[in-house]
Structure 1
Amino acid sequence: MTATPSVPLADWRQVLKLALPALAQQYLLLFIQHYDQFLAGPFGESHKAALNTANYIYWLTTCYAVVISAGATALVGRFVGANDRHMANHTTGQAIFLAVVMGLIATAVAWPFLPELLSLLRLKDAAPQIAAAYLSPLVLMVTMQLIETGGIACLIGAGDTRTGLYVLSGVVLVNVPVAYFASRGFGGSELNFVGIAWGTALSHTIGGLAVLTLLIRGRSGLKLTLANLKPDWPLLGRLLRVSIPAAADSLSIAACQLWFLRIVNDLGNEASSAHGIALRWEAFGYQAGGAFGTASMAIISQNLGARRPDQAARGGWMMFAAACGTMSFMGLMFYLFAWPMCRFYSPHDENIAGLGVQALTTVAFAMPALASAIVFTQALRGAGDTRVGVFYSWFGFLVVRIPLAYLLTGREISLGPFGTIAGFDMGLFGAWLAMLVDIWVRGLLFLLRFSSGKWKRVKV
C-alpha cells in the first residue's frame, strides 16, 4: 500500500522536535551510570575499577543491539516515509523477534565465559571477580533490554523519539530505589555491590515489558501482532543487510575500546579509576552527539523513503551543526571546570582527581570531531550506508589509537623480533592524547563520506 508521503520537511523546528526527546533519553541513561558510580563510592578502589571495566563490557550490549536497531530504524523509517504502514508494522514484528533470539543467544554464550573475558583486561587484585559478579544479573536479563532497545528503534524510525524518553524515565524511577536498597540492604560488601547491577537489570526488564505493551496497543502508528512475529526470512535478510555491518562497526569499536582499557588498566588502579571518572564526564558530550545522531537516523530514513534525498541531506547537516555546537560548549565546560568535576568523584584522593583532570581537559578539544563521527555514523545508518564505517573505525583504532597509546603510555615498547623502542611514559594523559588523535581522524573521514552524497543511492 502506498500513498502520498506526509513526512515533514527538514527545518530547525523538526530537528528540535526529534532531537530534544532523544537528548533527554540519552541523559537519563547517563544518569543511571553516574548514579551507579555514586552507589559504588563506599566500596573502595577495586570495586570502582571493576565497575568501570564492567560498564565497558556492558557497553557491548548496546553495540550488540545495533544488529536489531540500525536496520529497524532504517527500514521502518523508509516504510513510514513511503506511507506503507503494513510493512512498517511487519518490520517492527521482525525486530522484536530478532531481539528475543539474540537475547537468548547472548545469555547462553556470555554467561559461562565472563571470568575468562575479564581475565584478559588486566584488572588488579580482586577486581576481576567483583566485575564478573556484577555483570551476572545484567547478562541474565539482557533479552528484555534488547526488546526495549529494538522497540524504541522502531518508534524512532516512525519519527517518535518521545516514547523512548517516557520509557526510560520509568526505568530511572525504578532503578533509583531498587539499586539503592539492593546495594545497602544486604550483608556482605560483594552482595551489596552486585545489588547495583540488579537495579539496572530489573528496571530495564520493566522497560522492555512497557515497550511491548505500547507496541501491542499500537503506538505512533506501529502495531505489534502475533502474525508479524512469525519469521519472514526475506525481510529479516533486508534488516540484517543494514544491521550487520553497523553492528560489526559497533562491536569493533567496543573490542578496540576494551583493548584500550587493557592498556589503561596496566597503568594501575589509580589510572583506571581516574579513567572511569573522566569517561563519565565526557559522556555528557558524546551522549548529546548520540541524541542528534538518533534524530538524524529518523529524518534521513523517512525522507529517503519519501524520495526527498536533498531534504535528507539538509536534515543531516542540521543535526551535525546542532551537535557540534552543543558538544563544543560541553568541551569548554570540561576545560574550565575539570578539577571540581573530578574532585566530585574522588574527594579524598587528589592523585586520582589530578589524573582525571589531565584526561578531561585533553578530550575537551575532541568535541567537534566527535560530533562528526557520532552524527554522521548514525546518519549513514539511517540511509542504510553501513559498510564503509567499519573500515573507518578499524583505521582509527588499529592504525591510530592503539599504537599511539602503547607508544605514549609505556616506558619501553616491544616490537617482537625487531627489538624494543623507547616510549614516552606519559601515563593516562598519553592514552587520552592517543584518543584525541583517533577521534579527529575518524571525524574527518565520516564528514567526507557524508559530504560525498553516495549514501543517497544505497538500497535497503
Structure 2
Amino acid sequence: MARPANIETPPARLRSIVTLAAPAIAALLLQTGVLWADRIMLGHFSATALGAMQIAGPIEWTLVSVASAFAVGTLALVGRAVGAGDHAAARRHTTISMVVAVALGTIAMLAAYALVLPTLHLMFANTDAAAEVARQYLQVALLAAPFYCVGVAGFAALSAAGDTVTPLKIGVAVNVVHVGINWLLIGGHWGFPALGARGAGWSTAASYTAEALLTFAALSRAGLPASLRPFRWPFGDAAGRDALRALRRLSLHATSERVVYHVAYMAFVWMIARLGDDAMASNQALIAIEAISFMTVEGFATASGALVAQELGARRPERATWVGWASTGLAVLTLSSFGLLFLALRHQLPALVTPRADLQAEAARALIVVAIAQPFMAVGVVLGQAVRGAGATRLALFVSLFGGFVVRLVVTWIATSRGFGVMGVWMGSTADWASRTLLLIAIWRLGTWRDATRELPAG
C-alpha cells in the first residue's frame, strides 16, 4: 500500500481511522466468534473442560504474548518508515521481525515444555481435574508457538503499512479451519474421537500454523512497503544491525511490560482458581462475553498505533496527538454502547456459553461490573497502543506496572477475600482499567511520548 495521503480536514482524518480500524475490528470480532465457538463446544462437552481453559488460556496467552512483544517495536518502526516514505527501511524492519519471531517463538515453546507443563499441578493443586485437562490442551497448542509469533509480527508489519484488509482475509480463512477442526475433535464427529480440550489444542495449533504460512505469503508480494521481497539476510550490513538495535531497544520495555502484566495476570488467575472450578467456569463465560468489546477496542488500538507511528515518521506530531485523542473517543463511544448492551442482556448472554443455571446467575451479577469497565477499558487499550506506536514503550511499561500489578491484584485480593466471588474478580479488573485511564490521559497531554523514537538508530 502506498504512503498515506496528506489528510487535511478532521472529517477526513476520522475516516482514515475508521478505514484502518474497521477491517481490524472485523478480524478481531471473527476471532471472538471463534472464542465463543470454543467455549460453547467445551462447555457442552463438560464443565471441567470449560474450567480448564481458565488455566490453559492465560498460560498460553502469557507465553506467546511475551514472546511476541517485540511486534510492538515492529509496529512503531515499520510505521515510522512508511510515514517517512522509506520503503527500504520498512522492508528491512519487517524481515528482521520475522527472523526474530521464529527464534523467540521457539524459545517460548521449549520453555513451556521444560518449565511450565511439568509444574502445572503444583501451581493449581486444588484443581487437579481441570489442571490435567489444561495440560492436555497446552501439550498440543504450544507446539505452534513459533508460528503464532510469525503471524503476530506479520500482522503488525501489514497494519503499520496501512493494510488491515489482508489480516482480515487471512483471519477468515484460518478461523473457518479452526472451527471446523474444533467441531470434529472436541465432541467427536464424522468418526473422529471426542478429545475435548485436547482436540481444541490441535485446532489451535493448526490455526497458528495456517496463519503464519498465509501471512508469510502475503508479505512475499512484491511492491508492498513492508514486503519481504527481494529477500536478503538482514544482518549483513550496518543498516540491518542498526535496525536490529532499534527493534531490541523498543522491544526491551515492551517485553518487560508484557512480563510484568502477565506475572500479575497469572497471580490474578491463581486468585480466581482459589474460588473453585465453578467460579473458573463462570469467569470463562464472562471472558467470552467481554471478548466482543475487547476485540472491538483492539481494532481501534491497531489503527491508533499505526497512524501515530506514521504521522511521527512524517514529522507531523500534532496530527499524531489528534489521532490518539480521536481514536480513543471513537472507542469510548463504541464500548459504552457495549456496556449498555451487557446490562440489558446480562441474564441472556451467559446462557449462550454455559447450560448451568448457577453459573449463569453468577456471571449475570458480575456483568454489571463488566459494563461499568467498558469506557475505562477503551481509554486504556487505545491510548496505550498509541503510546506504544509512538515508541514510548518505557511509559507503557510504567502504566502496566502500576495498573496491572499493583491496582488489579490488591483490589482483586480484597474483593474476593470479602466474599464477592467472581464479581470481585471483575472489580479488580475495572480498577486496573480506571487507573490506566488516568495515567494515560496525563501522559498523552504532556506529550513527552513524541520524542521517543528520535534517538533510535536510523535502521
TM-score normalized by structure 2? Answer: 0.92
Pair 1:392 & 2:393 matched: no
Aligned residue number for residue 272 of structure 2: 264
1:221 Cα offset (Å): 2.8
Larger deviation, residues 221-230 vs 360-369: 221-230
1:207 Cα offset (Å): 1.3
Aligned residue number for residue 263 of structure 2: 255
User: For 2:111 and 2:181, how far apart are their aligned partners in 1?
Assistant: 28
* Gap change, CA 1:49 and 1:115, over 3 Å in 2: farther
* Gap change, CA 1:431 and 1:388, over 3 Å in 2: same
Residue of structure 1 aligned with 2:89, choices 83, 87, 91? 87
User: For 2:377 and 2:306, how far apart are their aligned partners in 1?
Assistant: 20
User: For 1:197 and 1:7, how far apart are their aligned partners in 2?
Assistant: 46
Aligned residue number for residue 241 of structure 2: 233
Pair 1:408 & 2:415 matched: yes
Aligned residue number for residue 297 of structure 1: 305
Aligned residue number for residue 22 of structure 1: 24
CA deviation vs aligned residue, 1:126-181 (integer Å, no higher than 9, x gap): 11111011012221111111111111111111111111111111111211212211
Pair 1:167 & 2:170 matched: yes
The SS at the match of 1:141 is helix
Residue of structure 1 aligned with 2:432, choices 414, 417, 438? 438
Counterparts of 1:172-251 in structure 2, within 5 Å, are 172-183=175-186, 184-185=188-189, 189=194, 191-218=195-222, 220-224=224-228, 225-230=230-235, 232-251=240-259
The SS at the match of 1:393 is helix
Q: Percentage identity across aligned positions? A: 30
5+ residue gaps, structure 1, are 411-423
* Gap change, CA 1:76 and 1:402, over 3 Å in 2: same
RMSD, aligned CA: 2.0
Pair 1:34 & 2:36 matched: yes
Contact 2:260 2:405 in 1 (8 A): no
User: For 1:119 and 1:446, how far apart are their aligned partners in 2?
Assistant: 37
The SS at the match of 2:346 is helix
1:8 Cα offset (Å): 4.1
Larger deviation, residues 299-308 vs 389-398: 389-398
Contact 1:79 1:87 in 2 (8 A): yes
Aligned residue number for residue 421 of structure 2: 427
User: For 1:132 and 1:117, how far apart are their aligned partners in 2?
Assistant: 7
User: For 1:430 and 1:173, how far apart are their aligned partners in 2?
Assistant: 36
5+ residue gaps, structure 2, are none
Larger deviation, residues 7-16 vs 430-439: 7-16
TM-score normalized by structure 1? Answer: 0.92
Larger deviation, residues 76-85 vs 254-263: 254-263
**Matched AA of 1:215:** L
Contact 1:92 1:222 in 2 (8 A): yes
* Gap change, CA 1:209 and 1:219, over 3 Å in 2: farther
1:121 Cα offset (Å): 3.7
Pair 1:356 & 2:402 matched: no
1:119 Cα offset (Å): 3.2
1:389 Cα offset (Å): 1.9
User: For 1:390 and 1:264, how far apart are their aligned partners in 2?
Assistant: 25
User: For 1:65 and 1:294, how far apart are their aligned partners in 2?
Assistant: 19
- Number of aligned residues: 443
